[in-house]
Structure 1
Amino acid sequence: MLVVLGFLMIATFMGLIMSKRLTPLLALIIVPTVFGLFTGAGLGLGDMVMDSVKDMSSTAALLMFAIIYFGLMIDVGLFDKLVNLIVRATGHDPAKVVVGTMILTALVSLDGDGSTTYIVVTAAMLPVYQRLGLSPVVLTCVAGLTNGALNIVPWGGPTARASAALKVEATDIFLPMLPSLGAGLVVIFVFAVLLGRSERRRLAVADPARWGAGATVGAGSGTAGAAGGSGSPAPVSMGLTDTALDPNRESLRPQLFWFNLVLTVAIMVLLVVDVVPLPYLFMVGSAVALVVNFPRMTDQAKMLVSHSSSIIAVVSMVMAAAVLTGILSGTGMVDAMSQWLVDVIPSSMGPYMAVLTGLISIPATFFMSNDAFYFGVLPVLTETGAHYGIPAVDMARASITGQPVHMQSPLVPAILLLVSLAGVQLGDHHKKVLWRALVVSLVMLVVGVLVGAVAIG
């Protein structure tokens, strides 16, 4: 019963947001609550949700103050030079801009933190998309795919969890999977090129005078963005980086450029070194940035208010996601779903347990947290594989191939941050990214098998 309710709940949630019958925020609250009542949990749902909210509180704090900090840096003009540099380097070519998005995301993703990656990439690239009229859904698609593939680095979440759950070295899991990672990035590069060319064609049809043969575009010309890849431009979304489009804004602080740059680099270094909790790091960074750039209290309050809509959108989404995760876990639906996955696998498929684990990881990590999969499902699958002589480390390698799909899940706070900053509907993002993420995951798994990193018994 719990298995049926669990999968039906996820299907209902996805159907509602992709059909745009409910906003993700409302769906995250209403759908789990209704299905949780059917489990007989009753008033106990409240405690489940509050326990999950406590677990999410540090993430919410991180996102809140990271938005404030990078929002301030955008307001004062720190990223303006970077935006102009990227526009000059890409030659105002949509295809090059999209490929540049992938390259920048890949570099920043090496820090292993999705939220920080998306904040930096969105801050740098969204103004370029807006100036050239590119669809922000393309940005979220390429950034989501790239970060999802690189989420398997040893210091990232899934590899560390697989290492801890199966008691194998993280480097032993990751290094043999480098060919798989390389193949996945090649596929993403191809997707980026194709998406960029598609945007170029769409813009040429929408505005032949600007994008037709021989047309040239200035770095600051045009402020219309395309919301979803349709034939005509839509108004630019009011997101975190809108102010970067105005070179004459009052908040610019060119005289403090080097101070802001040094402060940002210092925060990034501390973030990578991981000596200070990230929420506290961004709290202090935001406070210092506000005091130095805006000494007057009235200006400080004004800057905070200017980013309140972005903060509310992201933090409320994280808190709402706690309802879904709390009820999934607290009612036992996650445990029942994971056990069902193990039970339905016939014994004749035993020698292929590693490959099956990779295939299972694709939908399983989308519908449940990495913690639930790697600490709940993977050990059971690995124990089954051991009966057929499949090493635990091979099972671990196969299990991380589902990360390109996992990172698009509404249970991942980072993806909620990405779509919120870019002003994109989660359903629109899923329509463009999910099938591509599935292709990347399957390619990584197949290459893992071909190079011998994922064993077949």
Structure 2
Amino acid sequence: MLPLLGLATIVVLLGAILSKRMSPLVALIIVPIAASLVGGFGLHTSKFVLDGLKSLAPVVGMFVFAILYFGTITDAGTLDPIIDRILRAVGTKPTRIVMGTTLLALLIHLDGSGAVCFLVTIPAMLPLYERLNMDKRVLAASVSMAAGINFLPWTGPMIRASASLHLPISSLFDPLIPVQAIGLVFVFGMAWTLGRREEKRLGYSSPAGSVPIPERKLTPEEKALRRPKNFWFNIVLTVVLLGTMVAMGEKIPPAIVFMVGLCIALLVNYPNVDMQRKRIDAHSRAALLMAGILLAAGVFTGIMQGSGMLKAMAQAAVGFVPPAMAGHIPVALGLLSMPLSMLFDPDSFYFGVLPVIAEVASQLGVPTVHVGQAALLGQMTTGFPVSPLTPATFLVVGLCGIDLADHQKFTFPLLFGASIVMTIACVLLGVFPL
């Protein structure tokens, strides 16, 4: 009874989200509660829900304050000198331009928002691509690779994986740091290759500076928020926060790190109380939207685990997996995770599919953390910039002025290659023991 009820719950959840009959927030709350009542758990459902919410409170806190922090220092203009210097440094040599585009997107994506990354990077670089007649698919591919490889502790996939599997973010992220570094080497190597290909296609021979470099223009509202005198302070503060998260993630919860960081950033950059309120208001919508989804996911995972549906499903599925193949589950998921982004949106995968895979693997002796890490190698990380299930994909093609099919055909192999390289790196570095 329980395995069938659990399967039906996940099928209904996926169907409601993928068909867009319900928003993820609504589906993650209504579907599991209904399933729990149908299963006869009655008032025990409320206990399952509360247990799920309590387990996610630290993750929700970190995400909200990370968004507010990075939004505040971006408003203060912390990234402006870096952006302008990259634009001046790339000149008109296609290889430098593509490499610079990748670096710029990587830096802008520090806030964890793909939309912000694309909205800042593409308009800044597009005039240069157009003046030199460079292939705009290369622009789309370079920003997609940089954003896709940059799965930091406060990015959506990492938060979702932590929430759905009830694992500390540090246990997922820290072992993947060298793996991500190898992925970055691959990304910049491919950016260099794309730039060289463009040079050959264009017959490049012009000296740097022969074509004027486009200048970024800020609106009066943006200029009023800039605090150029605080550039180095904001840079040092950000480095200290990130270093604290990596070095002391087990001792100091990331939520506290970003809480304190946000307070310091606001007091230094915007000492006026009214300005502080406006900065929080400006970024609270994005933060609270994701916080709501995460809390709704707590309802789903709390009920699935508390009712025993998840464990019952896993026990039923264990019989179909040969014991000799159990140790290869993380590697197989790592290789498949990027293509799965074309089939599942992040909420349905991380909250509906991943917990079942993790429970099956756990009952076969495979640590849950390895399953979560395998998913992060591609599922809505390298996969999100080409997935038709995320608005960011349409933002990329819209800003670049290219067709979705052309973008997917050109960029998919590059992003898939990054996932394969990182999966192999996990094996070679011992993250996934064979």
Q: TM-score range by the shorter chain?
A: 0.5 to 0.7
After superposition, the C-alpha distances for 1:417-443 in whole angstroms (9 at most, x for unaligned) are x9xxxxx648979x9799997776667
* 1:119 and 2:112 correspond: yes
Task: Answer with 25-34 or 400-409: which moved more.
Answer: 400-409
- Residues 254 and 359 from structure 1, CA distance in 2 versus in 1: closer, same or farther, beyond 3 angstroms? closer
Partner of 1:293: 269
**What is the alpha-carbon distance in structure 2 between the residues aligned to residue 186 and residue 279 of structure 1?**
30
- Residues 34 and 145 from structure 1, CA distance in 2 versus in 1: closer, same or farther, beyond 3 angstroms? farther
Partner of 2:346: none
CA contact (8 A) 1:67 1:311 kept: yes
Partner of 1:146: 149
CA contact (8 A) 1:68 1:286 kept: yes
- Residues 397 and 182 from structure 1, CA distance in 2 versus in 1: closer, same or farther, beyond 3 angstroms? farther
Partner of 1:236: none
Query: Structure 2: which amino acid aligns with 1:305?
Result: D
SS at match of 1:20: coil
**What is the alpha-carbon distance in structure 2 between the residues aligned to residue 16 and residue 194 of structure 1?**
42
Partner of 1:302: 278
- Residues 130 and 48 from structure 1, CA distance in 2 versus in 1: closer, same or farther, beyond 3 angstroms? farther
**C-alpha RMSD of matched pairs (Å):** 5.3
After superposition, the C-alpha distances for 1:35-83 in whole angstroms (9 at most, x for unaligned) are 3333222332221111111111111111122222211111111111122
- Residues 255 and 359 from structure 1, CA distance in 2 versus in 1: closer, same or farther, beyond 3 angstroms? closer
Matches within 5 A, 1:58-137: 58-89=58-89, 96=99, 99-100=102-103, 118-119=111-112, 126-132=119-125
- Residues 323 and 267 from structure 1, CA distance in 2 versus in 1: closer, same or farther, beyond 3 angstroms? same
Task: Answer with 127-136 or 262-271: which moved more.
Answer: 127-136
Query: Structure 1: which amino acid aligns with 2:84?
Result: N
Q: After TM superposition, give the deviation of residue 184 of structure 1 in Å.
A: 6.6
CA contact (8 A) 1:404 1:441 kept: yes
SS at match of 2:42: coil
Partner of 1:281: 257
Matches within 5 A, 1:20-419: 20-89=20-89, 96=99, 99-100=102-103, 118-119=111-112, 126-132=119-125, 142=145, 145-147=148-150, 218-220=214-216, 248-274=222-248, 276-346=252-322, 350-356=323-329, 358-359=331-332, 366=350, 376-382=359-365, 401-405=374-378
Q: After TM superposition, give the deviation of residue 280 of structure 1 in Å.
A: 1.6
Q: After TM superposition, give the deviation of residue 295 of structure 1 in Å.
A: 2.2
After superposition, the C-alpha distances for 1:73-131 in whole angstroms (9 at most, x for unaligned) are 111111111222344455697855664368659xxxxxxxxxx9553887666411344
**What is the alpha-carbon distance in structure 2 between the residues aligned to residue 405 and residue 298 of structure 1?**
42
Query: Structure 2: which amino acid aligns with 1:146?
Result: I
Unaligned regions of 5+ residues in structure 2, if any? 127-135, 199-209, 341-348, 396-403
Partner of 1:13: 13
**What is the alpha-carbon distance in structure 1 between the residues aligned to residue 351 and residue 112 of structure 2?**
24
Query: Structure 1: which amino acid aligns with 2:214?
Result: G
- Residues 299 and 248 from structure 1, CA distance in 2 versus in 1: closer, same or farther, beyond 3 angstroms? closer
**What is the alpha-carbon distance in structure 1 between the residues aligned to residue 65 and residue 147 of structure 2?**
22
After superposition, the C-alpha distances for 1:271-303 in whole angstroms (9 at most, x for unaligned) are 222153321222222222222222222222222
CA contact (8 A) 2:87 2:213 kept: no
Query: Structure 2: which amino acid aligns with 1:60?
Result: V
Q: How many aligned residue pairs are there? A: 366
Query: Structure 1: which amino acid aligns with 2:279?
Result: M
Query: Structure 2: which amino acid aligns with 1:66?
Result: A
**What is the alpha-carbon distance in structure 2 between the residues aligned to residue 400 and residue 315 of structure 1?**
22
- Residues 64 and 183 from structure 1, CA distance in 2 versus in 1: closer, same or farther, beyond 3 angstroms? closer
Partner of 1:241: none
**What is the alpha-carbon distance in structure 2 between the residues aligned to residue 297 and residue 24 of structure 1?**
35
Partner of 1:167: none
Scaled by the length of structure 1, the TM-score of the pair is 0.60
CA contact (8 A) 1:52 1:322 kept: yes
**What is the alpha-carbon distance in structure 1 between the residues aligned to residue 312 and residue 329 of structure 2?**
19
Partner of 1:224: none
SS at match of 1:77: coil
Query: Structure 2: which amino acid aligns with 1:251?
Result: L
**What is the alpha-carbon distance in structure 2 between the residues aligned to residue 25 and residue 196 of structure 1?**
42
**What is the alpha-carbon distance in structure 2 between the residues aligned to residue 195 and residue 16 of structure 1?**
40
- Residues 35 and 73 from structure 1, CA distance in 2 versus in 1: closer, same or farther, beyond 3 angstroms? same
- Residues 306 and 28 from structure 1, CA distance in 2 versus in 1: closer, same or farther, beyond 3 angstroms? same
CA contact (8 A) 1:99 1:193 kept: no
SS at match of 1:250: helix
Q: After TM superposition, give the deviation of residue 269 of structure 1 in Å.
A: 2.5
- Residues 62 and 246 from structure 1, CA distance in 2 versus in 1: closer, same or farther, beyond 3 angstroms? farther
CA contact (8 A) 2:102 2:146 kept: no
CA contact (8 A) 1:98 1:196 kept: no
CA contact (8 A) 2:77 2:231 kept: yes
Unaligned regions of 5+ residues in structure 1, if any? 106-115, 165-169, 201-213, 222-243, 384-391, 410-414, 419-423
Scaled by the length of structure 2, the TM-score of the pair is 0.62
